[in-house]
Amino acid sequence: MISKIIAAFIAVICLLCCLASPFLYFWGKVSENNFKWIFLWASALYFIFAVLWASARKRDSCRG
């Protein structure tokens, strides 16, 4: 299973990409199509790794 630290790091990076992509599109640094792809992948990966992170935290707290 993926470690809690790795899952947290990837989740935070993906969240930052989700937050940065609209600004990059607004400033004209990326096209609309690239903005949509960045946002799609970053949000999907964020939800996957956030769930892994949360489940790892829950497993650690159940152990005592």
Q: How confident is the model at residue 27 (pLDDT cuts 50, 70, 90)?
A: very high
Cβ proximity of 9 and 40 under 8 Å: no
- Give the domain ranges of the chain: 4-59
Cβ 56 vs Cβ 3: under 8 Å:
yes
CB 60 within 8 A of CB 4: yes
End-to-end CA distance of the chain: 19
Q: Could you tell me what percent of the chain has a pLDDT over 70?
A: 86
pTM: 0.82
Q: Is the CB of residue 46 less than 8 Å from the CB of residue 11?
A: yes
Give the pLDDT mean for 5-32: 96
How do the residues of the chain divide into helix, strand and coil, expressed in percent and rounded to 5? 85, 0, 15
